[in-house]
Structure 1
Amino acid sequence: MTDHTPATALRVSHVELYVTDAEAAASAFVDGYGFRVCATAERGGGPEGASRSLALRQAGIVLVVTQALDDTHPAAAFVARHGDGIADIALSAADAREAFADAVSRSAVPLAEPAERDGWVTAAVAAGFDDVRHTLVQRPAGHTDTAVPLPGFEPVAEPAEVSGEPVGLTVLDHVAVSVPMGQLAESTGYYERVFGYASVYEELMVQGTEAMDSKAVRSPAGDLTFTILAPSPEHDAGHLGDFLERHGSGGVHHLAFATTDIVTAVDRMLERGIVFLGTPDTYYDRLEQRLKLNRHSMAELRKARILADEDHGGQLFQIFTRTVHPRRTVFYEIIERAGADSFGGGNVRALYDAVQAEKAEH
């Protein structure tokens, strides 16, 4: 059982992306995914450099896109190394000073000592993989607007209306991370040791000559899950190796956004211009034999190319966007859970088998 301490009581605040163009990045989330810009920040000079940030929200998901305006801001070095990507998974704290001290006492790597500004207290520790960080955020007393994520942000007086039908994304389901071979235990152990996360899933997934080790760890509050993947030493590195090479290190390769109706969400995202990965018809021919669907029809899934899987708790439905990143790294997942608590491992195998079967027919 997890000890209840300041470091284990942290919850998700927001996810920050470092980008080359904040306006363009924000527009992509607004136009394609149905987010709304709700706050902005301009930070000038100083030791941490100058930057421009926009905060976006949809239901319980808050994203921040930050562009460096000079070479001293950390976003400049991050983008030079990785391209646009997820740099900070920020965590809300009732007392950031206590949470920081507790995390460091549990061997968290400190990055920024607690500092106070306008009633906010922030600090930062390293994440369990490469140069991603966790900013700890303590809001001023009585501050309840979660769309304003950090000190220095000003709420947008009249947020623009989102064009088109609402997409219906609800919360951040999980964060998927790739780490180099041999670092899986170290990365997941960091979260278990420092933040009291629990292991909820573990599997070696083999696909032909490729394989990846995977383990998912979840926060005590249940609102943040990391699925961490590493190439298996006995197999080819495959697409994980490709990500590590293109990204320049380990890091977040996708965010999974939850929805309560994936068929509607995907349909509305397609109307907005989002392109999803394709799935061969063979997958759906075999899916009819593999699963008895408890919601959505086979025709609906086939039309939208949505994947379905099942575990002891129920079913899940998921689909992945095609990456538009210049390095072909970061992408996004849309997921609907109908009782399932896993992450679609059965789909990895089923998709591989379907692709192989389709190749054999041609």
Structure 2
Amino acid sequence: MATVDKSSLKLPIENPEAQDFLPLLGTDYIELYVGNAKQSAYYYMAAWGFRPLAYAGLETGQKDKVSYVLQQDKIRLVLSSPLQSGGEINKHIDAHGDGVKVVALWVDNATKSHKETTTRGAKSYFEPKTLEDQHGKVVLSGIHTYGETVHVFVERGDYKGVFMPGFRKWDPFYKPAEVGLKYIDHIVGNVGWNEMNKWCQFYAKVMGFAQLVSFDDKDISTEYTALMSKVMSNGNGRIKFPINEPAEGRKKSQIEEYIDFYNGAGVQHMALATDNIIETVTALKNRGVEFLTVPASYYEDVLDRVGQIDEDLEPLRELGILIDRDDEGYLLQIFTKPILDRPTMFIEIIQRKGAKSFGKGNFKALFEAIEREQEARGTL
């Protein structure tokens, strides 16, 4: 069933300075425009443990594109490809390669959400519209954000079908086991030079977010590269959007590399939460997912820095999982190499043990690992 009770989801972050006038109940789905949705769906199923949920295409009366919907716990991915030449999806793929087009947000009232955001300055992507079938109705509306990324507001309280009208249940024989991914912890956007504050102000003014934390080039820098980042969050903490921009460095930063190959601003990575990062990462590695690695020396003094943890250090060391602590607890995190041919989007796996932060203590080791990959690609 499409209706997921995300209201039971208890995330550790609350942001009382945010206005929450929409309000946002959670992430409804992430839609990627891809060159071959059928093959991409197989990848996310086989490698990442997503389960088949719904399908739309020629067999459902959709003539211009095909979409496969995958789900794992509270995470939904929609993979869409064009069925004809020309058109919006083709242009998007030609410019950006495979990438995130839609970050869909679950709301009680999509019409109100559109009005609230557009009257505050958002550019409309599409006006509120109602989709109906025998299972009920879904109301959608959309606004533009950074680059060609859009937010679609999804109101599905009156719908009992598999995903939304226009889709049918997708039930193939092949259904690999899940890997323990639970929900989207945060979604990171990369924007151009001196654009971070502009988009942070957009989320504050247009959507009622407030800044949760910020990092400057002293926090996020190595010998060669640097970047700036601010984390915007809604009031209930279920939607967290870090926004990155490049900063001056001796060589080309990962943000500059992303913008060069993506041809503009876009979603850099999704952070997917798990309750057992050792089991999840072990399963992902066994399925062929490749992760960034840090030098063995990282683990020599990591417990001196972060203190006592519940996990044995050895499996964390073997898997390359990073550890950081804040005033509320600690977290465990690891980052994949780019999962696409272009060095653009990647995925973070995160397990929070009370921590509300984003791994500031790991930035130097992480970015040096990224630089080693950039050097191998010849883009540093």
Structure 1 residues 228 and 352: alpha-carbon distance in aligned structure 2, compared to 1, 3 A threshold? closer
- RMSD (Å), alpha carbons: 2.4
The separation in 2 between residues aligned to 1:179 and 1:115, in whole angstroms, is 30
> Amino acid of the residue matched to residue 163 of structure 1?
P
Structure 1 residues 221 and 337: alpha-carbon distance in aligned structure 2, compared to 1, 3 A threshold? same
Query: Is residue 223 from structure 1 mapped to residue 247 from structure 2 by the alignment?
Result: no
Give the equivalent residue in structure 1 for 2:330: 315
CA offset at residue 4 of structure 1?
4.8
Q: Match for 1:185 among 178, 197, 211?
A: 197
8 Å CA contact 1:38–1:159 kept in 2: the answer is no
The separation in 2 between residues aligned to 1:102 and 1:56, in whole angstroms, is 30
Give the equivalent residue in structure 2 for 1:162: 175
CA offset at residue 237 of structure 1?
4.2
TM-score scaled by structure 2? 0.85
The separation in 1 between residues aligned to 2:250 and 2:198, in whole angstroms, is 20
Structure 1 residues 109 and 307: alpha-carbon distance in aligned structure 2, compared to 1, 3 A threshold? same
Give aligned pairs, total: 348
Query: Is residue 174 from structure 1 mapped to residue 192 from structure 2 by the alignment?
Result: no
Query: Is residue 349 from structure 1 mapped to residue 361 from structure 2 by the alignment?
Result: no
Matches within 5 A, 1:24-173: 24-42=39-57, 50-118=64-132, 119-127=137-145, 129-139=146-156, 141=158, 143-144=159-160, 148=163, 150-156=164-170, 158=171, 160=173, 162-164=175-177, 166-173=178-185
Structure 1 residues 247 and 195: alpha-carbon distance in aligned structure 2, compared to 1, 3 A threshold? same
Structure 1 residues 262 and 57: alpha-carbon distance in aligned structure 2, compared to 1, 3 A threshold? same
Q: Please give the secondary structure, in 2, of the residue aligned with 1:66.
A: strand
The separation in 1 between residues aligned to 2:263 and 2:205, in whole angstroms, is 27
CA offset at residue 274 of structure 1?
1.2
CA offset at residue 45 of structure 1?
12
Structure 1 residues 186 and 160: alpha-carbon distance in aligned structure 2, compared to 1, 3 A threshold? farther
8 Å CA contact 2:52–2:69 kept in 1: the answer is yes
Structure 1 residues 273 and 2: alpha-carbon distance in aligned structure 2, compared to 1, 3 A threshold? closer
CA offset at residue 151 of structure 1?
2.7
TM-score scaled by structure 1? 0.89
Report the more deviating stretch, 34-43 or 167-176.
34-43
Bigger relative contact order, structure 1 or 2 (CA pairs below 8 A, ≥6 apart): 2
The separation in 2 between residues aligned to 1:355 and 1:52, in whole angstroms, is 34
> Amino acid of the residue matched to residue 102 of structure 1?
E
Q: Match for 1:267 among 278, 282, 302?
A: 282
The separation in 1 between residues aligned to 2:293 and 2:18, in whole angstroms, is 41
The separation in 2 between residues aligned to 1:53 and 1:136, in whole angstroms, is 18
Structure 1 residues 23 and 352: alpha-carbon distance in aligned structure 2, compared to 1, 3 A threshold? closer
Q: Please give the secondary structure, in 1, of the residue aligned with 2:28.
A: strand
CA offset at residue 72 of structure 1?
4.3
Structure 2, unaligned stretches of length 5 or more?
Answer: 1-16, 372-380
Q: Please give the secondary structure, in 2, of the residue aligned with 1:33.
A: coil
Q: Match for 2:221 among 182, 188, 206?
A: 206
8 Å CA contact 1:49–1:72 kept in 2: the answer is no
Give the equivalent residue in structure 1 for 2:270: 255
Query: Is residue 337 from structure 1 mapped to residue 352 from structure 2 by the alignment?
Result: yes
Give the equivalent residue in structure 1 for 2:376: none
Give the equivalent residue in structure 1 for 2:8: none
Give the equivalent residue in structure 2 for 1:359: none
CA offset at residue 221 of structure 1?
2.9
Query: Is residue 328 from structure 1 mapped to residue 309 from structure 2 by the alignment?
Result: no
> Amino acid of the residue matched to residue 131 of structure 1?
E
8 Å CA contact 2:330–2:353 kept in 1: the answer is yes
> Amino acid of the residue matched to residue 186 of structure 2?
H
8 Å CA contact 2:23–2:107 kept in 1: the answer is no
8 Å CA contact 1:282–1:354 kept in 2: the answer is no
The separation in 2 between residues aligned to 1:326 and 1:117, in whole angstroms, is 35
